[in-house]
Chain A
Amino acid sequence: MGVATQKTATETQEQRIPRRRFLAWLSGVGLVGSTVIGAFSTFLFMRPRTTYGQPNRFSIGRPEEFPPGARSAIDPKRVCIVRDGNKVAAISTTCTHLGCIVGPSATGFQCPCHGSRFDVDGNVTGGPAPKPLAWFAVTLTPSGELEVDKDNEVQPGTYLSV
């Protein structure tokens, strides 16, 4: 009788410890997992899928508005439309140094903030800018307008024939 009672007590003890350990393990894995998933979903939440500012894809008008040889900067859109004969391209006017707006100059582009200079193709010719100015894809819409897509960077020297 006494032996039997003792045995049951030991059994209960043996059962209890693994259960507690199992719960601790479960809570630990669960909480760490929740933290990781939570952090990742917060990251996705904080990275906007759509932006409310200016669209990155916009129309800039008909090709005729840009005569051959024209270099017209559109400051609000931060691009410069370059037309060379029948070829059209869009060069970014956002300085690759610290994000100021570069202006077209006789030799190319010049940044008013930290004195970076670029040639007509956007290559760095002086100043602290680390990279050449970006070129964006230009397409012709069915309605005959030029469309710039700032999400679509292209190789410098990529022109659209019109």
Chain B
Amino acid sequence: MSKDRTSTLKSLADLPANVARSVFRNPLPSSDRGRAATSFTNFFLHVQPVRVSRQALRPSYTLGLGLISFFLFVILTATGVLLMFYYVPSTEQAYNRMLDLRSSVAFGVILRNMHRWAAHGMVACVFLHMCRVFFTGSYKPPREFNWVIGVCLFGLTLLSSFTGYLLPWDQLAFWAITVGTSIAGYAPFVGKVVKFILLGDATVGQEALLRFYVLHVVVLPLVLTIFVAVHFWRIRKDGGLAKAEPRSTPKPVAVHVELQEEQIPVPAMGSVAVAARRFTIQGLVRGPLIKVGMLEEDTVFSWPNLLIAELFVLMLTIAGVMLVSILFNAPLEQPVNVMHPPNPAKAPWYFLGLQEQVSYSAFWGGIGVPGIELLLLLLLPYIDRGKEGVGRWFARQRILANTIFLLFVIVNIGLIIIGTFFRGANWQFVSPF
């Protein structure tokens, strides 16, 4: 009786420790094997490699742009789901709900600000991430297809941002979408149909609001999530981030390899107790991955090096979004007045380069040139087959490719700046100064 009580008390006393051990199968690692096991046995960490190259961790190499883009997407999902609790996709109510966020919803203003600024930030970061990948030549084999997925992710980000733009149902939203969908209408053959299906009507109205809402909160985030998952998975399978070829062949570094011996319960069959031992090998894989016993010198364990870097970038991202959201309110203009377009009516800023081009030639500016640019971006890794200059910023061997891409970036940013700041009423040139 007393023995039972003590055992019950003991299990109660051990309860927290036992629960913790069942959740986190490894104690905080103190050995190399522990550090490796932590990455293997944790669902959230097993996305990451056990070891990661020092170069991939260098902030000056990646600028953390891909990670920032992903964290912004996470912030957008969280704030977006919260905003959905108060939003109604109806032309009668949408604008009033925006006012309610300001006046009667706790933290309504800051949530809307965070969602708006994180969205703009994501468009910018995904584009800058693409620039980083280009200028470091990171789209070379075996990473060609991941570049293609990345270009798709950029397009999905633009579409997500664009569909969200209409939802406040204010003048800015209404006319930006009117102008934006009109650009889509210029596509040959399919343009008119695409515009009609997108709007669900001849003009922007209730049908368009509902369609954009469904695309914005369900379809696009779902597709985006799948693409992000594939994008991350391929980074792992392609051997981590692209890195510069080592000057000399990497010397195999002696690693302390411990054979893991597990006690497995042996059913007592008859009289002979069989000494059963099972050995497991963790991490024998093919391909360009780091192999056991062939560790390159310049790799470090993901736990804690990569994890701390990621958490730091996450903190920076949250801090940046919070700061901007506290300082600046997301714009909200007058409710929609179908009869009175603002002058000038401008698309969202990331489409102003497109709108500027459209003001010269509707077809070539809106569809022709952007279409060719998109096609070139998608085909880029299959056109530029040179193997030199991978994993370094502005490598001398890639001077031609880098110059062309830089020109493309400058022209597009220049067009956006002209469209944003230098265009006034009737799309006439104005000086912002």
Give chain A's interface residues, CB within 8 Å of chain B: 43, 46-48, 51-53, 56, 75-76, 78, 94, 97-101, 111-115, 127-130, 150
B296 on the interface (CB 8 Å rule)? no
Report B128 CB to chain A, min CB distance, Å: 28
| Docked-complex contact A51 and B201, CB < 8 angstroms | yes
Name the B residues within 8 Å of A47 (CB-CB). Answer: 193, 196-197
| Docked-complex contact A46 and B205, CB < 8 angstroms | no
Contacts of B329-387 to chain A: CB distance below 8 A: 338-339, 341, 343-345, 355, 358-363
Report Cα–Cα, A128/B179, bound state, in Å.
13
B81-97 contact mask (Cβ, 8 Å, vs A): 1 or 0: 00000000000000000
B427 CB contact (under 8 Å) in A51, A128, A150: A128
Known: A51-B202, A52-B205, A98-B179. 13 other contacts (CB 8 A): A46-B197, A52-B207, A53-B205, A56-B202, A76-B338, A97-B182, A98-B358, A99-B178, A112-B345, A114-B426, A114-B427, A115-B428, A130-B361
Name which residue of chain B comes closest to A131, CB basis. Answer: B362
Name the B residues within 8 Å of A97 (CB-CB). Answer: 182, 358, 362
| Docked-complex contact A98 and B201, CB < 8 angstroms | no
| Docked-complex contact A112 and B200, CB < 8 angstroms | no
Report Cα–Cα, A127/B358, bound state, in Å.
11
| Docked-complex contact B200 and A115, CB < 8 angstroms | no
A-B contacts, 29 of them at CB < 8 A, read: A43-B197, A47-B193, A51-B201, A51-B202, A52-B207, A53-B201, A53-B206, A53-B207, A75-B338, A78-B203, A97-B182, A98-B355, A99-B178, A99-B179, A99-B203, A100-B175, A101-B339, A101-B341, A112-B425, A112-B426, A113-B175, A113-B341, A113-B344, A113-B426, A114-B345, A115-B427, A128-B358, A128-B360, A150-B202
Name the A residues within 8 Å of B343 (CB-CB). Answer: 112-113
Name the B residues within 8 Å of A114 (CB-CB). Answer: 344-345, 359, 426-427
B183 on the interface (CB 8 Å rule)? yes
B207 CB contact (under 8 Å) in A51, A56, A76, A111: A51
Name the B residues within 8 Å of A48 (CB-CB). Answer: 200-201, 207
Name the A residues within 8 Å of B339 (CB-CB). Answer: 75-76, 101
Name which residue of chain A comes closest to B426, CB basis. Answer: A115
Contacts of B165-188 to chain A: CB distance below 8 A: 175, 178-179, 181-183, 185
Report Cα–Cα, A127/B425, bound state, in Å.
13
Name the B residues within 8 Å of A52 (CB-CB). Answer: 201, 205-207
Name the A residues within 8 Å of B206 (CB-CB). Answer: 52-53
Report Cα–Cα, A48/B211, bound state, in Å.
12
Give chain B's interface residues, CB within 8 Å of chain A: 175, 178-179, 181-183, 185, 193, 196-197, 200-203, 205-207, 338-339, 341, 343-345, 355, 358-363, 425-428
Name which residue of chain B comes closest to A99, CB basis. Answer: B182
Report Cα–Cα, A100/B178, bound state, in Å.
8
Residue from the set A43, A48, A127 with the largest chain B CB neighbour count within 10 Å: A48
The verdict on A130 contacting B426 (CB below 8 Å), with A53-B202, A97-B182, A100-B341 known, is: no
Report A109 CB to chain B, min CB distance, Å: 13
Name the B residues within 8 Å of A100 (CB-CB). Answer: 175, 178-179, 341, 345
Report Cα–Cα, A90/B196, bound state, in Å.
22
Name the B residues within 8 Å of A75 (CB-CB). Answer: 338-339
| Docked-complex contact A113 and B201, CB < 8 angstroms | no
Name which residue of chain B comes closest to A110, CB basis. Answer: B426
Name the A residues within 8 Å of B178 (CB-CB). Answer: 98-100
Name which residue of chain A comes closest to B363, CB basis. Answer: A130
Name the A residues within 8 Å of B193 (CB-CB). Answer: 47
B179 CB contact (under 8 Å) in A113, A115, A127: A113
Report Cα–Cα, A51/B196, bound state, in Å.
10
Report B208 CB to chain A, min CB distance, Å: 9
Name which residue of chain A comes closest to B211, CB basis. Answer: A46
Report B348 CB to chain A, min CB distance, Å: 14
Name which residue of chain A comes closest to B205, CB basis. Answer: A53
Name which residue of chain B comes closest to A111, CB basis. Answer: B426
Report A97 CB to chain B, min CB distance, Å: 6
Residue from the set B207, B425, B426 with the largest chain A CB neighbour count within 10 Å: B426
Report Cα–Cα, A114/B342, bound state, in Å.
11
Name which residue of chain A comes closest to B366, CB basis. Answer: A98
Report B197 CB to chain A, min CB distance, Å: 5
| Docked-complex contact A98 and B197, CB < 8 angstroms | no
Name the A residues within 8 Å of B179 (CB-CB). Answer: 98-100, 113
| Docked-complex contact A98 and B345, CB < 8 angstroms | yes
Report Cα–Cα, A97/B185, bound state, in Å.
10
Report B213 CB to chain A, min CB distance, Å: 15
Report B223 CB to chain A, min CB distance, Å: 14
Name the A residues within 8 Å of B361 (CB-CB). Answer: 128, 130
